Amino acid sequence: NSVFSHIVRAPEDPILGEGKPLVLNVVRQAEQLLVNDRSRVKEYLSITGLADFNKLSAKLILGADSPAIQENRVTTVQCLSGTGSLRVGAEFLARHYHQRTIYIPQPTWGNHPKVFTLAGLSVKSYRYYDPATRGLNFQGLLEDLGSAPSGAIVLLHACAHNPTGVDPTIDQWEQIRRLMRSRGLLPFFDSAYQGFASGSLDTDAQSVRMFVADGGEVLVAQSYAKNMGLYGERVGALSIVCRNADVASRVESQLKLVIRPMYSNPPIHGASIVATILKDRNMYREWTLELKAMADRIIRMRQQLFDALRARGTPGDWSHIIKQIGMFTFTGLNSEQVAFMTKEYHIYMTSDGRISMAGLSSRTVPHLADAIHAAVA
Ligand code: PMP
């Protein structure tokens, strides 16, 4: 009799294992260079990861000319992709920050509440999405953050909010920033789609940079899964922007104490690929072009899907398909309609009606439009 016989089967994660992302040319090139470099060894990285990678990652999200970086008040540690960066940041906050409550948007990526709860934070939500307009519930957001306890942590999606595809405008970001700073709320940005939303790395980092430019403190978790297609490499970074260099170095010393007993030090391969690309002017340029092509293709798929629904006379206003940003369309379809489309059309999406636009092509748009049309008719 197994000592584990009482264990109940956990539900499967519905999302992991979906899709077959392509490998970027520039990533192939970087890997070739790494393979040919006989001076590379398999030594451990330090607890905080590859130094070049960390520096370049901070520059990528905060800007090449960021005063915060020049003033040495940013500490960056390499982590296991976006998820690991969020977890390390959350563990650090749970141990050392005076306010253990984190506010996450409603809805948000399904892993957020689990990561933060297991790290020891207490999770609350703020209103974000308005199903009636399929847009931002800006009033609700301001009210909820306005009544959050002083010092609370606020999780913000840097761009291309998952799952809604709805982002605040720059003007709205500015109002959110002012409100948060006036109430001493601590911003923790999740940047999983930099470059994927608009096609421009700088444009997609604007929200984060606004909060850094005011001199206040900021956490940001970066993932290279989507924008370099390095899903399985598990490469990401956590940066904590501090008031001054002295605080930053003390913060870093404590981040090491979080990381060391968790996984000792991060893996070398993915970080070497990223650093190779970010530090070479030509490869960097090629990356931005490939990234822009991916983002543009998704924007084209949105237009094609929207046009296809129009052509079919599908009831309802589908303009949110072209207004939303990033990889996903939050269709507004309910779980019965989703189940119908899966059963009758073999179309797979999350039960909240979120479609991955990255998985769509001109060839498959008509089939999807037929399915949506049949589901809502
Ligand atoms: N944050 C958000 C909003 C995401 O959508 C994802 C991936 N789906 C992640 C973080 C983390 O991804 P990863 O750990 O693969 O970088």
Residue 359, pLDDT score: 84
Residue 377, pLDDT score: 84
| Residue nearest atom 7 of ligand 1, based on CA coordinates | 192
pLDDT at 86 over 60: yes
pLDDT at 15 over 70: no
Q: What would the pLDDT profile of 149-166 be if each residue is shown by its tens digit? A: 999 999 999 999 999 999
Q: What would the pLDDT profile of 135-153 be if each residue is shown by its tens digit? A: 999 999 999 999 999 999 9
**How large is the average pLDDT for residues 231-243?**
97
Q: Which residues line ligand 1 (CB under 6 A)?
A: 81-83, 109, 157, 162, 190, 192, 223, 225, 236
Q: Say how many Å lie between the CA of residue 314 and the centre of ligand 1.
A: 33
Q: What would the pLDDT profile of 323-372 be if each residue is shown by its tens digit? A: 998 888 999 999 999 999 999 999 988 888 999 888 899 999 999 999 99
Mutate to test the pocket of ligand 1, among 15, 114, 190 (most ligand atoms within 8 A of CB): 190
Token readout for 309 is 């629904």
**CA distances, 30 to each of 27, 35, 47, 53, 318 (Å):** 5, 9, 24, 14, 41
**CA distances, 370 to each of 19, 295, 347 (Å):** 21, 25, 11
326, 348 contact by CB (below 8 A): no
Q: Say how many Å lie between the CA of residue 223 and the centre of ligand 1.
A: 7
Model ipTM over 0.90: yes
Residue 42, pLDDT score: 87
Counting from 1 in the atom list of ligand 1, the atom nearest the Cα of 224 is 16
Q: Say how many Å lie between the CA of residue 107 and the centre of ligand 1.
A: 15
CA-based nearest residue to 193, from 215, 169, 214, 162: 162
pLDDT at 195 over 70: yes
Mutate to test the pocket of ligand 1, among 162, 167, 234 (most ligand atoms within 8 A of CB): 162
Omega prior to 261 cis, within 30 of 0: no
Mutate to test the pocket of ligand 1, among 157, 223, 231 (most ligand atoms within 8 A of CB): 223
Counting from 1 in the atom list of ligand 1, the atom nearest the Cα of 81 is 16
Task: Return the exposure string of 58-83: e unless at least 16 CB atoms fall within 10 Å of the residue's CB, then b.
Answer: bbbbbbeebebbeeebbbbbbbbbbb
Q: Say how many Å lie between the CA of residue 1 and the centre of ligand 1.
A: 39
User: Out of 19-23, 95-99, 285-289, 298-302, which region has the weakest mean confidence (pLDDT)?
Assistant: 19-23
CA-based nearest residue to 341, from 373, 293, 306: 373
CA distance 201 to 193: 9
Q: Say how many Å lie between the CA of residue 96 and the centre of ligand 1.
A: 25
Query: How many contiguous H segments (helices) and E segments (strands) does the chain have?
Result: 15, 11
HSE, CB side, 13 Å, CA atoms: give it for residue 377: 11
Q: Say how many Å lie between the CA of residue 328 and the centre of ligand 1.
A: 13
| Residue nearest atom 2 of ligand 1, based on CA coordinates | 192
Counting from 1 in the atom list of ligand 1, the atom nearest the Cα of 80 is 14
Q: Say how many Å lie between the CA of residue 229 and the centre of ligand 1.
A: 12
Counting from 1 in the atom list of ligand 1, the atom nearest the Cα of 223 is 16
pLDDT at 18 over 80: no
Q: Which residues are catalytic?
A: 109, 190, 226
CA distance 52 to 79: 14
Token readout for 242 is 């501090």
Q: For 63, which DSSP code?
A: -
> What is the percent of the chain where pLDDT is above 70?
98
HSE, CB side, 13 Å, CA atoms: give it for residue 72: 6
User: Which residues, in sequence order, are bridge partners of residue 75?
Assistant: 240
When pLDDT is cut at 50, 70 and 90, the band that residue 115 belongs to is very high
Q: Say how many Å lie between the CA of residue 344 and the centre of ligand 1.
A: 30
What own/partner pairs with CB < 8 Å and gap ≥ 24 does 15-21 have? 15/110, 15/350, 18/348, 18/356, 18/359, 19/356, 19/358, 19/359, 21/229, 21/231, 21/358
Counting from 1 in the atom list of ligand 1, the atom nearest the Cα of 190 is 1
Residue 14, pLDDT score: 62
When pLDDT is cut at 50, 70 and 90, the band that residue 13 belongs to is confident
| Residue nearest atom 12 of ligand 1, based on CA coordinates | 82
| Residue nearest atom 4 of ligand 1, based on CA coordinates | 192
Counting from 1 in the atom list of ligand 1, the atom nearest the Cα of 236 is 16
Token readout for 89 is 């940041």
| Amino acid residing at 351 | S
Q: What would the pLDDT profile of 31-70 be if each residue is shown by its tens digit? A: 999 999 988 888 999 999 999 999 999 999 999 999 999 9
